[in-house]
Amino acid sequence: PPEQAAPYDRDLTRLSEIIGSLAFLRELCAGADAAEWPNRMKALIEAEGVTPGRRDRLAGAYNRGYRGYASTYRVCTPAAHEAAGRFVAEGERLSHALAGRFGG
């Protein structure tokens, strides 16, 4: 049978993409939290990647976010810092919304 999408999959996919973007941008800009982002994605996949298809979708979103910025930025710029700040804020909003609506 086809895999049933969870009601929060869209937000979880977006969060994965944000984490991927931050993994690249924070490393590029030597952020103190740079090593945290790949670990956060690993934890997310361990918690939510209950099927191979779901793991692939989450990992694919992470990779899209990472590669999207890797193809644009070679050095840290003010725009890269600004983008990272926006992603942190969006990721926090999504995380809180997901936990509030679907958390245990």
Burial of 95 (0-12, 13-18, 19+ CB in 10 A): middle
pLDDT digit string (tens) for 48-86? 878 899 899 999 999 999 999 999 999 999 999 999 999
Least confident of 18-27, 46-55, 88-97: 46-55
Backbone dihedral angles phi then psi of residue 79, each to the nearest 5 degrees: -65, -35
9-28 and 78-102 helices cross at what angle (nearest 10)? Answer: 150
Query: What pLDDT is stored for residue 104 in this prediction?
Result: 54
pLDDT value for 102: 76
Running DSSP on this structure, what letter comes out for residue 3?
A: P
Q: Where are the domains of the chain?
A: 9-102
Spatial distance between the Cα atoms of 80 and 99, rounded to a whole number of angstroms: 28
Whole-prediction pTM: 0.91
At residue 30, the pLDDT reads 94
